[in-house]
């Protein structure tokens, strides 16, 4: 008789269980980029307290408290400020220049829930956060279990490890059901675009690259897997060789046989689908369909497995029109919305997209995934705000008036909405402002100067719809070593963009 399995692994059995039984998020682990490349503390992980019942929930930084002590109405001012500024309670610095931390992932997640282990000591634990660095090729491993409020770097994987396998620019990290960690990579050691994936075991020893054979994607970016259908899908980003050259950007999505690690189908989206970045299968592991957001021309494509075939169909289902814009005395040019993130609610009912240049977030009902229905829209800054006097919108096929700038209690939101993270119950959508520091400096220099932010959107999960929560702001403008730029956010117990569920 076989031994009885002792218990389950981390996370939840199903995405609907996570949505129904998941606890409210209390901490946000936020990847934070230092734009000053001469500042020795470098990029870091910010731990943000978002627990309304926590004693540090509303604390402000020491400089602000010092200033308030010199006011007549300290108590009144403290209560006012406390209600609107959320506390970064810890910073885990990499102490290295030029990392460009970007995305993050777990050592284990809900894909390890259905464990075969018979001893509690051997059951996988979600206790490490993985931070790949795009520019340095380093990978940082943080212990988030010993003290979740003070994560600590416990291992640093030197960039030479990736280079020894001719891969660079690590991007997305996902844990696998077998205990390994897989990280997508975007380039090779010569600075060329190259799509691949690198594997690490549970002790963070490099196992080499994942793809078998010579057939590889043009370049890499994001990925998502579904073993039930023996498939993994990946997207394509760009080569850092020349960011102004459109031929250096990807325009394909790639499908792999999960069991054999081989690329078997590539779908070219053309210029309409150039820069397909964030890619998601539905959370339900028995639905072989998903979406990819294409940045430059602000389109979303829907892909679905064909009946009685391993191949996928793909078609455009959301097309956000570009706007004809004149900047200063220049010629009018088309400005795309720049969709750099997409997110699916755990019940696969709502799709969220950002438009980093145009400045808005959108919510779509995807009950019929081939015909998404717009159900919510919120403006959070962007490049077209009505107070920008050097900007003239010549043609706008959607809006009659330019959106007003967004303020939260006197703080103008610079930049546009970027990375998103949804609460497990679907009711709270956190939004950061930084995309990629070279592009931040190009498009939103004021955000780089004044610091980025995280804001909160309240979501109506019954009828659809979104509303800015004006009582929430995390301001990165007064950080200890200068203004910084927040990017991806994670919850300690898993979230809507890190966890992948397997069919039981």
In this prediction, residue 120 carries a pLDDT of: 64
Dihedral sign for Cα atoms in the order 247, 251, 257, 258 = positive
Enclosing H/E stretch for 440? helix 437-443
In this prediction, residue 13 carries a pLDDT of: 84
Per-residue pLDDT reduced to its tens digit, 130-162: 999 999 999 999 999 999 999 999 999 999 999
Alpha carbons 37 and 41: distance in angstroms, whole number: 10
pLDDT band of residue 121 (cuts 50, 70, 90) is low
Secondary structure class of 200 (helix, strand, coil):
strand
Share of the chain above pLDDT 70, in %: 87
Q: What is the DSSP string of 258-311?
A: TTTTEEEEEEE-TGGG-SEEEEEE-SSTT--EEEEEETTTTEEEEEEEPTTSS-
CATH architecture of the domain covering 16-62+84-490:
7 Propeller (2.130)
Burial of 40 (0-12, 13-18, 19+ CB in 10 A): exposed
Distance of CA 108 to the CA centre of its chain: 18
For residue 74, pLDDT beyond 80:
no
Is the pLDDT higher at 52 or at 278? 278
Q: Which two tokens stand for residue 40?
A: 């020795």
Alpha carbons 89 and 465: distance in angstroms, whole number: 31
pLDDT band of residue 110 (cuts 50, 70, 90) is low
Cα–Cα distances in angstroms (integers) from residue 345 to residues 33, 188, 291, in the given order: 27, 34, 13
Per-residue pLDDT reduced to its tens digit, 79-97: 344 444 568 999 999 999 9
Provide the residue ranges of all domains of the chain, joining segments of one domain with +. 16-62+84-490
- Mention every residue, 6+ apart, whose C-beta is less than 8 A from residue 101: 31, 32, 33, 43, 44, 45, 94, 131, 132, 133, 134, 140, 487
pLDDT band of residue 63 (cuts 50, 70, 90) is very low
Secondary structure class of 485 (helix, strand, coil):
strand
- Mention every residue, 6+ apart, whose C-beta is less than 8 A from residue 203: none
Is the pLDDT higher at 43 or at 493? 43
Enclosing H/E stretch for 82? helix 74-82
Mean pLDDT of 322-350: 97
For residue 457, pLDDT beyond 80:
yes
Round the average pLDDT of the chain to a whole number and report it: 91
Dihedral sign for Cα atoms in the order 65, 71, 76, 80 = negative
In this prediction, residue 109 carries a pLDDT of: 76
In this prediction, residue 444 carries a pLDDT of: 98
In this prediction, residue 244 carries a pLDDT of: 61
Measured at the CA of 484, the angle between CA 448 and CA 404, to 5 degrees, comes to 50
**Predicted structure pTM score:** 0.92
pLDDT band of residue 12 (cuts 50, 70, 90) is confident
In this prediction, residue 52 carries a pLDDT of: 85
In this prediction, residue 243 carries a pLDDT of: 56
In this prediction, residue 67 carries a pLDDT of: 36
């Amino acid at each position: 008789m076989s031994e009885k399995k002792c218990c389950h692994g981390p996370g939840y059995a199903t995405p609907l269980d996570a949505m129904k039984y998941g606890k409210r998020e209390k901490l946000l682990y936020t990847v934070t980029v230092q734009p000053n490349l001469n500042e020795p503390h470098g990029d870091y992980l910010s731990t943000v307290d978002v627990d309304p019942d926590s004693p540090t929930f509303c604390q402000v930084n020491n400089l602000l408290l010092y200033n308030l002590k010199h006011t007549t109405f300290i108590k009144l001012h403290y209560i006012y400020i406390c209600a609107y500024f959320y506390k970064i309670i810890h910073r885990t610095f990499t102490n290295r220049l030029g990392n460009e931390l970007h995305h993050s992932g777990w050592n284990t997640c809900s894909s390890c829930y259905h464990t075969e282990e018979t001893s509690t000591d051997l059951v996988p634990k979600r206790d490490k956060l993985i931070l790949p660095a795009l520019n340095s090729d380093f990978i940082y491993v943080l212990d988030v279990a010993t003290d979740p409020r003070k994560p600590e770097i416990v291992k640093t994987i030197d960039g030479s490890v990736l280079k020894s396998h001719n891969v660079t620019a690590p991007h997305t990290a996902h844990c696998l059901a077998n205990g390994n960690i897989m990280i997508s990579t975007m380039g090779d050691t010569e600075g060329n675009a190259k799509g691949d994936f690198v594997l690490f075991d549970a002790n963070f020893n490099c196992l080499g690259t994942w793809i078998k054979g010579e057939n590889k994607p043009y370049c890499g970016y994001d990925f998502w897997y579904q073993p039930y259908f023996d498939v993994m899908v990946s997207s394509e980003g760009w080569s850092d060789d020349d960011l102004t050259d459109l031929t250096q950007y990807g325009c394909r999505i790639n499908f792999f046989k999960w069991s054999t690690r081989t690329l078997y189908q590539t779908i070219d989206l053309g210029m309409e689908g150039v820069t397909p970045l964030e890619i998601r299968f539905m959370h339900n592991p028995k639905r072989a369909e998903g979406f990819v957001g294409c940045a430059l021309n602000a389109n979303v494509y829907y892909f679905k497995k064909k009946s009685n075939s391993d191949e996928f169909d793909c078609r455009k289902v959301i097309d956000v029109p570009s706007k004809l814009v004149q900047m200063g005395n220049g010629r009018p040019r088309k400005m795309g919305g720049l969709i750099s993130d997409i997110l699916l609610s755990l019940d696969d009912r709502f799709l969220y997209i950002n438009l980093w240049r145009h400045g808005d977030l959108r919510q779509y009902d995807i009950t019929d995934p081939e015909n998404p229905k717009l159900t919510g829209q919120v403006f959070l800054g962007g490049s077209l705000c009505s107070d920008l006097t050097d900007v003239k919108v010549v043609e706008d096929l959607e809006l009659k008036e330019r959106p007003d700038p967004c303020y939260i209690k006197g703080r103008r939101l610079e930049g546009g909405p970027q990375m998103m993270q949804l609460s497990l119950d679907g009711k709270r959508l956190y939004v950061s402002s930084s995309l990629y520091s070279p592009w931040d400096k190009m498009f939103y220099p004021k955000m780089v100067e004044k610091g980025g932010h995280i804001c909160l959107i309240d979501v109506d999960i019954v009828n659809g719809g979104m509303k800015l929560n004006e009582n929430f702001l995390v301001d990165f403008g007064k950080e200890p070593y200068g203004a910084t730029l927040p990017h991806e956010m994670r919850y300690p117990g898993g979230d809507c963009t890190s966890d992948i569920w397997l069919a039981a």
